[in-house]
Amino acid sequence: PALARPTEDQAVDLISGLEVRQPKLSRSGFFIDDQGTVLTTVEAVESCEYVTLDSVHRAQVALIDERLGVAVLRPETALSPLGVAVFQSGVPRLQAEVAVSGYPYGGVLARPALTFGRLADIRGLNGEDEVKRLDLIAQEGDAGGPVFDNTGAVLGMLLPPDEGGAQVLPPEVRFAVDAEAILASLAGAGITVGTTDSMAFMPPEALTREAAGITVLVSCW
C-alpha cells in the first residue's frame, strides 16, 4: 500500500481495501475480579450471536439484572486484568468530582477515555435510591463504564440514556447504577467483589492509569 498515493478512500476499518467486520454495537465494561469477570450494561449483551472483550476474548453472560440494567460476563478463558474495580461503600459528597471511564467511540480508540464531571445527586429524579444523577457529557459507547470518585473507588456503572421515553433530558444529565445496588445484586448471585470506605484523594494522573487497567471494550456481534 505504501507504493500508491493515499486517497480519500482510506479508513481505519479497511485492510487492503477489504472492509473489516464490525460488531453490532460496542459499549464499555470493567473488571470486577482477578479472573477477568466483567460488569457491563444489559444493552451490550442483548440479541448477540456472541460477545467479546477488547475485540479478542469471547465471554459468556453469567448474570443479567434487568431491574438495574447490569450484566456480568465471564471470559471463556481466564484473564489476568491489570486492575480490578474496588467499590465505594461510603456515602459520596454531593457536587464531588467524578469521572467515567469508557470507550466513547467503540473500538476506534485503543485505550479508554476519561470524562470528568460532578455528582449532581445521590438519587434519581424521582428519588430512586438505586441510581445516582451525574452532571457530565458522555457518549453512547461510555455506557457500562465505571464511575469513579476522586479516591479511585467505583461509585457505580454508567447507564445508557433513556431515549425511548416521552421526556428529553439535557445532554449533561446522566445516571449511574448505585454501587450498593450493584453489590447486592452480585452478592445474590454469589459473586464477591472488593469494597472500600477510603476517602483518600487520588490525583487525576493516577486515576487515568487505574482506569486504563480496569476498563474493557465490550462488543456485541
User: Are 4 and 182 spatial neighbours (Cβ–Cβ below 8 Å)?
Assistant: no
Residue found by looking up cell 467511540 in the block: 105
pLDDT tens, residue order, the chain (221 aa): 555 566 666 665 655 556 677 899 999 999 999 999 999 999 999 989 999 999 999 999 999 999 999 999 999 998 999 999 999 999 899 999 999 999 999 888 889 999 999 999 999 999 999 999 999 999 999 999 999 999 999 999 999 987 656 678 898 999 999 999 999 999 999 999 999 998 889 999 999 999 999 999 999 99
Residue linked to cell 477477568: 36
Cα 194 from Cα 186, distance rounded (Å): 11
Which residues, 6+ apart, have CB-to-CB distance to 190 below 8 Å? none
Decide if 174 contacts 136 (C-beta within 8 A): yes
Sequence letter at residue 221: W
Residue 82 identity:
L
Contact 69, 164 (CB under 8 A): no
SS3 44: helix
Task: Report the SS3 class of residue 140.
Answer: helix
Q: What pTM did the predictor assign?
A: 0.88
CA–CA gap between residue 210 and residue 216 (Å, rounded): 12
